Amino acid sequence: MKSIWYKRFDCPVCQAQFRAPRVFSEAIRVSRRDRDLMPHYEGVNLLFYDLVTCDRCLFTAFEKEYIKPNIVAKSGRFEKLKSLTKRAKKIYSGINLGEGRNVDDAIAIHILGASTYHILDQDRELAEVYLRLGWLYRLKGERQRELHALGRALIHFERVYQTTGDLDAVQRALFYIAEINRRLGRRDEAVRYYSELFRRFKDSESVYLKMARQNREEIR
């Protein structure tokens, strides 16, 4: 079975039309999840393809930034993104942007994605990109870099928690604030945020609450 197909995109930064690999939903097989819900896949790893990179200028973002390019087109940010892509081309010209990517390609792509969302100043996307970057380092067995990336994700999950009214986003942010603190060895902070998660979402049977109850048990 084929797991990859190519989708057409228009780059909001350099205006190139290009095709980027996407994963067929039927090809996605999660074999297990870690305690922070990091998915492990059988076959193609979806984490390698969650961001879209323009093969001409290396602008990298989630699909929605290509579908609604108005955020990118806003003045001030646009020029910054253009100079980012110029620098990126010098450093990252060797990444495989097609199929058959490896973990190093995916790490470079997520670093590019983080740079994009720093310029766009979007905490929710920064939290997600750094979380995935941490997971990619975990796959490689690079523990210090993993914890560093998770620490960056934590900063942005905290900002999401403080600023959003979207309850699903609050629940996800609280779970990751607690869980990343637990992984960083900050016991009191982890306990505090797990308690806050249980207090605010006590009737929820979501995957976050189920995993949080197990993880909280492990903190002594």
Least distance between Zn ion and beta carbon 64 (Å): 16
Under the binding rule (CB under 5 A), the answer on residue 57 touching Zn ion is yes
Which of 44, 47, 54, 150 contacts Zn ion by CB under 5 A?
54
User: Does position 173 bind Zn ion by CB under 5 A?
Assistant: no
Minimal distance in Å, beta carbon 19 to Zn ion? 13
Beta bridge mates, 82: none
Q: In the range 127-166, which residues lie near Zn ion by CB under 5 A?
A: none
Could you say whether residue 117 binds Zn ion (CB under 5 A)?
Answer: no
Residue-by-residue DSSP string for 62-124:
-THHHHSTHHHHSTTHHHHHHHHHHHHHHH-TT---SSS--HHHHHHHHHHHHHHHHHHT-HH
- Could you give the dihedral angle defined by the CA atoms of residues 134, 137, 143 and 147, in that order, rounded to the nearest 10 degrees? -20
Q: Which stretch binds Zn ion (CB under 5 A): 55-63, 66-74, 120-128, 183-191?
A: 55-63
Query: Going by DSSP bridges, is the β-strand pair 39-42/29-33 parallel, antiparallel, or unpaired?
Result: antiparallel
Q: Shortest CA distance to 98 belongs to which of 60, 45, 48, 42?
A: 48
DSSP per-residue letters across 160-178: HHHH---HHHHHHHHHHHH
Residue 97 lies near Zn ion (rule: CB under 5 A): no
Q: Is 59 in the site for Zn ion (CB under 5 A)?
A: yes
Phi, psi of 110 (to 5 degrees): -70, -30
Nearer to Zn ion, 18 or 175 (CB): 18
Residues 18-47 that bind Zn ion (CB under 5 A): none
Q: Which two tokens stand for residue 96?
A: 């495989």
**Closest separation in Å from C-beta 109 to Zn ion:** 14
**Closest distance between Zn ion and the C-beta of residue 54, in Å?**
3
14 binds Zn ion (CB under 5 A): yes
Binding site for Zn ion (CB under 5 A): 11, 13-14, 16, 54, 56-57, 59
